[in-house]
Structure 1
Amino acid sequence: MNFVYINHNVLDNLFYIIVSILMFFVLYDNVSRLKKYKQILLTACMSLPIILCMKFPIYIDQYCVHDLRQIPLFIGTLYGGWPTGAALLIILLVSRFAIYGFNFLTLIVYVVIFIATAFFSTKFNRVNKKKKLLFSAAITLLLEIITTYMAVAMSDFFKVTEPYIFYFIILPPVIVFFAVYLLEILMDTIHVRSNMVKLEKMEVVSQLAASISHEVRNPLTVVKGFIELLKDPNLSQEKKEQYIEHVARELNNAETIISDYLAFAKPATEKVEPISVESEFKNIIEILKPWANMNSVKIKDQLVSGSVLGNANYFRQCFLNIMKNGVEAMPNGGELKIATFLNKNDLTIKVSDTGVGMTKEQINRFGEPYYSSKEKGTGLGSMVAVKTIQMMKGKLEIESVPNEGTTLAVTFPVYLAEKAKVKENPIKLETEFLRS
């Protein structure tokens, strides 16, 4: 056999080992149920290269055939401890005897490898990455030398040649060194990603808590002030009623903030029902009209009849928040347009304003729990709106030009009973609305 052919077989064995390591981490990282059975998964993944290495061995010469089956045994035992090592040893011996027949020398050699590796596995898992690399290479080299002397002593036909020294004494520690390095990098990646997810969650919670605390404290401070004023015995009845009205308004504001947070934080448990979009928007417009008039904002609508499935209260709150944002985006007055377009499968709602607009960054961050483009905003209204759209299986698209205006288009699956009622071309209706 020439050197190239031997090299090819070594690369095959290396390929089986590396792919099995990667397969272990892909399954461990992506299948959450397997995290509980790490040792079983490690055993299964390391047994595969053991069998493949024996099935496709390395040919040194016509009298000497070896393979790298001991490396998966090293790795599995070091990381999984003696239970994993014992399972791999049984699989290795059963496979070896099934393929090549029983051999007492093989039995002794791999039992020694297992006992020594299992003995050091506890200490191995307690040290840092640098020590693991050095320790794994050293123990592999030591065991390769010991087992070679055992083979020479117990077998008359066993000969130690230069290719054997290279492939089965020098090369295995190098392979184990890089295999452990790969394993440590992959484990560090999983740990870092897990910690990042936890940190992100904690950051969201802390930012939400800070926003809610700030927003609730303001109305409560006002309430506290008016309660102090109500203690005045000389206060007229008219003033008392006025102060009580202020107290009630501020408490309602605090309740709204808390309700918005709960709507975001808790999953919806309310019943799902058909929602008449036209009817709901007429109610929303009536609620917003007085406030819009106070801000010199004219509301214009073009609504078609259509229904979607969802929770009516959440739907109403969602578009109240969106339209309220639109009014607030026009501090000097302007026009707020609301239109609905119905086709065979979808119902699209467009809310357009002629306000300050949004930058690309503001569009990308729309609906984040603690982000708001308004100076004193918390972002609660926007995040509740986004969550409601997601719960109703809707799709949100935002188009905006700074200092020109913003258009939010929300598309919901149309309620099945409405699909047969579509008679007019929705593209034509949309074009007419935009021209107006």
Structure 2
Amino acid sequence: MTSTSHFLINLIGILLLLLIVQFWLNRLHQNPFVTEIVMGLSLSATVVLCMLYPFHTNGGVIFNLRFIPFVLGCLYSHKITSMWLTFLIICLRLMHGLEASWFSCVSLLIFFLITTKLKPFYTNLSMTKKIIISGILMLFMSTWIIVGVKFLFHVPITIELFFSYILIQSFGILLIVYIMESNKEKQSLLYKIIRMEKVEVVSHLAASISHEVRNPLTTTRGFLQLLNESKAIPKAEKGYLTVAIQELDQAERIIRDYLTFAKPAPEEIESLNLKKEIERAINIIVPLANMNIVELSSELESCYIKGNAGLFQQVLVNLLKNAIEAMPSGGTLSILGSVEKTLAKVTIADNGVGMNDLQRNRLGEPYFSTKEIRGTGLGMMVVFRIVESMNGSINVESELGKGTRITLTFPLTPSVEKSNSYIRILN
């Protein structure tokens, strides 16, 4: 059988196994640890599959497509997984003897260092750039191996072997990266659609029942307030009335959050000075920070964005309050307001308990909260809705035990609008 046939069989085996694994990984809200284990096992299986069915040259040197799962592991998996794949390939390769394997093992270690350094840059690229970079990387690796074997071991390399090894391996990585990135984009789109449907349900629910529920709540609170002011009721029993009033106020706040969701956009749009709005929110949150031994640090740049002052304050206070509550033993809360080209950015960073990938991805979903029984999930749900209504975006970075960084991005608005809008705010 020719080298082309061997390599195509290798490639088909890799594709089948990875497609099966991708189907399993595409389920929503996968545990990151389980995902990493499944990814590591599947890549290990593809390495073994390739090395069990190699192409043997006349000089005793073997060729296979083991570099495809190796590169995928280095670029898409945890560093431990890529280290394991490197160790596995070296062990399997040394079974053929050190004399025939030393060049392959040394090359593998060099490629491991290159891909490890490349991964942070690679992760933030677009799908097209990822395909191009992975293709160039595999082309370099394939050419390195086949040229090295030719000149170090003086093995005769046919034209068919030369082109089939380089082209099939390079085409294989291009195809697999395209499939993986396409699946990732489709999964992200599906997740957004599901999230939007949940938000739509909450919006309709809020619009249909909020007013009807609010009316009896307001009436009940009024009568309880009158009873609480009555001198005929003993002071000891008034404590029960106070608790009842507080619970009604809590119900009122939850309904107000629902109503915020039901409104597609703020009623009054103003030009907001980002620096002054953040300073105002910090002043509101200072007492809570002092109670929790949290140090506040801010670095703010003055710029203007469009939005509703009251709703924007709701966003900032919610995020600052969550950050403080994420540091039960105290810590530092940093607030950065900056301008990048045509965008205004607000970054809120804490060094609290942090979140895992599953919690981070579900942040902003209706009824999902990292506070367990202490939270309803409505606060962050409202934050996402308000930011979206301001044509902004939210980016959340978090790691367990190291803290969370939330970045809000808004389009800038010319500062010439500030005079009229600020007179309206001050009045």
TM-score (norm 1): 0.46
TM-score (norm 2): 0.47
**Structure with bigger gyration radius:** 1
**Larger relative contact order (Cα-Cα within 8 Å, sequence gap ≥ 6):** 2
